[in-house]
Each structure stands twice: as C-alpha cells, then as structure tokens.
Structure 1
Amino acid sequence: MHLHLKILGIGCRKSRALKANVKQALARLPELNVELEEVTSVHEILEYQIKAAPALLINGIPAYEDEVPSVDELVRNLRPFMQKPKPMKKILVPTDFSDIAANAYRFAQRLAADNPSAEVRVMHAYHPSFDYSNPYLDMPAAEFESVKRELMRNFIAEHTVASRQSGSVATVAKPQTELYIGFAGEEVVRLSKEADLIVMGTTGQGNVMEKVFGSVSTHVARNAHCPVLLVPGNCKCKGFKEIVFASNYNAADEAVLQQLIEMAGVGPANIHFVHVEEEAGKPYSVSKVEFEQAVRENMPDIGFNTVEIECSDIEEGIVKYAEDIDADLIAMGTVHRSFLETLFHRSVTKRMAFHTTVPLLVLHYDQ
C-alpha cells in the first residue's frame, strides 16, 4: 500500500522535531512504500484547514496537529500500513446452541461458501460449576460432556445449510466441532489467535446483561486477535453492498479500510466513510465531505461516500445513517481502540442502539 506523508510546518523547533521523529520512524520501517513531503509555506498550510501547526497528514488525513509524537508512537501508527490482509480461511463460530447462535452459524456458512478455501470451526465452552441455571449440575463430568456433544451434533445437523452456486446446490463442508471447559469469552479470545474471523451472535441464552448486548460478545470484540463479526439474531446474510465504516479520523483508517475490503470480500460495493460529531441536544444531520483522492486511487474498484454526521449521540448517528442507506454492514476499527471503548462503555440504553438488523464488524490493528 502506498503511503503519502505530509509535514506541515514553518520550520520552527516543533516542526523540526516532528520531521526528525518521522524520519527516525521511517528508518525503522524500511519496507514501507512512502512518499514524504514537507509544506512550509504559510499560504499553502492554511489551505489544509488544520487546527494548528506543525501537523502530520497520513494520506491526507490529519494524524497529529500542534504536537510532536514520539518515534515509538509513530512506528506504532505507521506499522499497520505494512500489514497485508490475510485470506479468510479459518472462521470460528462460538455457540451456546441458541437460536441466536444458530443464525450466526448460518451466516458464517454463507460467508464460507463464497470462499472455497475457508473452513468453519464451531466451538462451545462451558463451565458447569459456575452455571447455577444448569439442570445437569449434579451430573458426573463424563456424562455431562456426553450431553454437550449430543447438543453439538444436533446443532450442526439442524443448522448446516447448502449454498446455491451457478444454479446448482453445493453442500457446505462439514465443520470442525470442539468442546472446551472454561469461560466462554476467555476461550474464544484464546482460540482467536488461530482464526481469521470470528462470527458470533450478539445475544444468547445467558444472564440479563447477555440479553442486553452480550457480555461474551463484548469481551470477544474488545480482546480478540482477529476481526469479529457480530450478527444480530434477525439478520440474514445477503452480501455486503452498502458498508458503513465508522471512523474517528484515525491515521490508520486507510489501512483498516483495506482490511475491511479484504475481509468482507466486497466486489462492486459502496463504503460510506462516516464520522460523527457528538454534541448534546444536536439534531441529526448529514453533510457530505470530499474524500482524500489518494485513498480513491489506492482502491479504484470501491465506491466511496464520505459524510459528517452531527447529532446528540454517536450510536444513534451511526445506526440512523445505516438505516437510511439500508446498509448491509457496519464496520469500525482503531489502533488503540479508544473509539471502540467509547462505544462499548456507554449506558445500557445507548448500547441497545446496535440491536438492528445490521451486522457489526470489529477490526483491530493493535495486536
């Protein structure tokens, strides 16, 4: 991926320090394909409409303004542009045998059907000594495991689907199935190191918090070592043609976008690059902005619509826009997960905003 860096500064001490740190960071990343440009004319700097100089732009997106990041921080934020997205070969599907999990499993199968090299791995984690609602609590461990295996066999038999390709029905390859003793969230995160994508429902047969947003789903989305696709229970897989990418204008947005395109397997599609400005009492409004031409040139086959949304609530703005365009997917990613942390630590009422028919893809770049 081509990387274009611009340093905006008038040659002051902070500008020189920024330039020196950028050069040191690039020296530690020799594989990067970088074009470095310095803009020192006050007149030209004003045209970029930055808040203050010195500033560093990464592919046209302001990454730093009026600050000098350390060399280590620059390396951390530039390294994602070196990463080549992995092909989606291993899809992990956690299940609790609920209808919600069954829908996520069907969704995963449809994704795998579009990728001949993909394999689906269905896993279930249980910890009977901590599950006080478990009717088999007093059952011997070996017998209890046998019950779980039977539940898994029934789950796979009932919910394995066939995919239609070129007018003929192609049977989906039989998935791998595995049982683990342990806490579900921790086991899924551990297994995520061996997966290319996790597909899971957002609620299940758990406690009250699980019903609200899915404590296991939240834990996995925040801590997994691979992308996580959260599938609402009423969602059907119909391909990804209209994708909302929720951004906090992070410098690594282009790299995350590239990973999104590879993971979603999009062909002719539109990606709506959405940034939400949250302000109390602000009515919902949408305005289009021009997307950096450098990104368009790197991804010529993808249609881009870039919008600024003003509203009183981040989640409301994202979901409302997704509903307005009939989106097939909401995606978000961040280097330090600060934006994701903000979303997942809202009140229960606000988190309910994500209970739409739109899947949520969470991408990580700080692993």
Structure 2
Amino acid sequence: MKNILIPTDFSENAWNATRYAIELFKNETCVFHLLNTYTPAIASSRFMAASIDGGVLENGAQLGSKRGLQSVVDRIHKVYDNPKHSFKVSSSFSFLVDEIKETIAEQHIDLVVTGTKGASGLEEVFMGSNTVRIIKSVKHCPVLAVPQNFEFVTPNEIAFATDFNRFYTKSELQPLQDMAETFDATIRIVHVQYEIKALTELQRFNLNMLRKYLGEVEHYVHTVSELNSISKTLEVFTEELDIHLLAMLNYQHSYMEKMTREPVIKRIAFHTQIPLLVIPELGMHSPSRNGKESETASSY
C-alpha cells in the first residue's frame, strides 16, 4: 500500500494535482493524505479563542481549513469511485514545508504530489516559490510537481536528466524504476553538455551502473548540447520526444539544484509543461516534532 501526501490550498491548481495523483495510481492500493496548513493572525488565533456557552469558538482559519478539506474529499468522491483508494485529511496550524516534512516522517509517506503555479501569477514560469521550497527542503521523500492545467497522460515516456558525475544507489533509483515498470515506460536518460565531449572514466562507470540498475527496463541514452540553460535544453528535449514525465535526482551540484537556486529560479522561465519527479539523495533524516500545534488527521 502506498501513502501519498497531497498538500492543498483548495485552488484549482491543487485540485489538478490531486486528480493527477488519483489517476496515476488508479490501479494501486493507496492512502491519500490531504494536508492543509493555516497561519492565522495572532489577534484571531486559537490561543485567544473565547469560551461561549460552554463551547470553544473555533478560529475562523481553522474552521475554513477543515471545511475546505471536507469539500475536497466530497469532490473526489463525486468524480472517482475507486475501492483501492482511501483518504485522510489533516488541518494544521503550521508552516507548509515544516508540516510536510513531519507528515512524511509520521505517516511513512512514499511520495509528495504538489501542484505548481508560476510566481506572481506568471503562467510561463513552471515552478512557483512554494514548489521550490518544498523541493529544496524535502530531503527524504520523492516529490512529484504537477503543472497547472496539465491533463493526465499515462507516463510511458520518462526522461531522466543526469550528468553521470555522481554514483547512484539502487534505492535512490527505485522510484524511477517503479514508475517505469508500473506503466511499462521507456526511460530516456538525457545528458546535457555545455560542449559535447567524451565521458570521463568516472562518468562511464556511473552510466554503466545506472544501466545495470535499470535492468530489464527499456532505456536509451541521449546526449544533447546545452541551449542557453539546462532548463531550456530539457524543455526542448521533452517536447521533441513527447516525454510525459521528467525525473531528476536532487543532490549537490545536480541539474535540479542548479535550477532551484534562488538567483537562478528568478531568472529562468522553465516552460516545460509536464510533471517533474524530484528524487532526493538518501541519508537524510526528518526532523522530530517540536511542540507545534497540529490537528489529528481524520479518515474518510
């Protein structure tokens, strides 16, 4: 059974990511954890709630969060009727990234699925600031970022962008391999080079190990010249080969790290309109809870 975490702010962008996740795992037994966080103003926070007629006047933001989550669950049940899927909701007075990290640890989350929205409402920008923060902060669980307005397509063509400069572990590659095997997909290993040249001995070794780990999964290696930026290069590559999912490992000096550095992300418009699977390097541990208020999750 898979545990999938979907942060939601009740926007259509978040609903689109929810739909994608439900359709992606329609044939698998899953528990979907729907998370909403709220940070109300101190003046109206739960700590200053007044007791009226023996009851507690709930904070407006907290009540809105709970009602919003119930509305999402109701909407899911109206559109989908899958006995393999169950849903849990969690409303928390917390910051989004902090709560995501702790939910991953406590609920043994296998994958985080989040919607993406351009910064300042610019649709041409692939990743908004929240998505970037999630990708940079979550070090122990894969993150799948789904562009707004993306219509679900079975991912039978997957691109894996890498430079072969780092040794891969089989465990790190497992999310990629699982996705490929589930959908009988072809993996396109894409290596972006500033100038085309032969691989070093280390790169050849890492490539050979990568191919060994992928085993029977059909895969091909593509070397492409960089076009202005890594993001632009990958955009063109995924469009030309009709790729349905782009995957990257997130580690120091990786393509993903370069693309999510704050000064860089403000300059580049990553136009790729396909989901992005970000796989963290292993060895990171999640933080423990630090006394933050959190609502008990409810099941539906």
Shared fold per TM-score greater than 0.5 = yes
Mapped pair 1:348 → 2:262: no
Counterpart secondary structure, 1:120: strand
Matched, 1:180 2:97: no
Q: Compute the TM-score of the two structures, normalised by the length of structure 2.
A: 0.74
Q: Quick one: distance in 1 between partners of 2:253 and 2:88?
A: 31
Hey, what's the Cα distance between the residues in 2 that align with 1:333 and 1:158?
Answer: 34
Match among 62, 85, 97 for residue 145 of structure 1 = 62
Q: 1:308 aligns with which of 203, 216, 223?
A: 223
Moved over 6 A (4+): none
User: Structure 1's 148 and 277: CA in aligned 2 closer, same or farther, altered over 3 A?
Assistant: same
2:133 corresponds to which residue?
219
Q: In percent, how many aligned pairs have the same letter?
A: 26
The one of 108, 117, 124 equivalent to 1:203 is: 117
**Aligned residues, how many?**
257
Give the one of 57, 74, 94 matched to 1:157. Answer: 74
2-side partners of 1:209 and 1:234: how far apart? 14
CA contact under 8 A between 2:145 and 2:276: conserved in structure 1?
yes
Assess, with a 3 A threshold, how the Cα gap between structure 1 residues 112 and 160 changes in structure 2: closer, same or farther: farther
Match of 1:231 in 2: 146
| Deviation of the 1:271 alpha carbon | 0.7
Matched, 1:89 2:2: yes
Structure 1 residues without counterparts, runs of 5 or longer: 1-87, 131-137, 164-168, 280-284
CA RMSD of aligned residues (A): 3.3
2:176 aligned partner: 260
Residue in 1 aligned with 2:239? 323
Give the 3 Å change call, closer, same or farther, for CA 357–347 of structure 1 in structure 2: closer
Partner-residue secondary structure (3-state), 2:59: helix
CA deviation digits over 1:242-290, x for unaligned, max 9? 01101021333463434311255534221111111136xxxxx9x9xx9
Partner of 2:101: 189
Which one scores higher on RCO, CA 8 angstroms, separation ≥ 6?
Answer: 2
Deviations, residues 320-350 of structure 1 (Å, cap 9, x unaligned): 1001111110000044364322111214341
- Name the CA distance, whole Å, in 2 between partners of 1:301 and 1:125: 42
Cα distance in 2, alignment partners of residues 348 and 230 from structure 1: 18
Q: Secondary structure at the match of 1:230?
A: strand
Q: Give deviations 1:294-333, integer Å, cap 9, x for gaps.
A: 6545434311111111122111111110011111100000
Structure 2 CA distance for partners of 1:292 and 1:220, relative to 1, 3 Å: closer
Unaligned runs of 5+ in 2: 43-48, 51-56, 199-203, 285-300
Q: Helix, strand or coil: the match of 2:13? A: helix
Query: What is the one-letter code of the residue matched to 2:26?
Result: A
1:322 and 1:231 mapped to 2: Cα distance?
15
Q: Which of 295, 299, 303 is 2:214 aligned to?
A: 299
> What SS does the aligned partner of 2:32 have?
strand
Give the structure 1 partner of residue 273 of structure 2.
Answer: 357
Quick one: which amino acid aligns to residue 201 of structure 1?
G
Conservation of the 8 A alpha-carbon contact between 2:244 and 2:275: yes
Q: 8 Å contact 1:162–1:172 — kept in the other structure?
A: no
Please say which of residues 312-321 and 185-194 is displaced more in the overlay. 185-194
Structure showing greater Rg: 1
Paired residues of 1:235 and 1:357 also in contact (CA < 8 A):
yes
- Matched position secondary structure for 1:327: coil
**C-alpha spacing 1:298/1:147, structure 2 compared with 1 (3 Å):** closer
Structure 1 residues 128 and 317, CA, compared in 2 at 3 Å: closer, same or farther? same
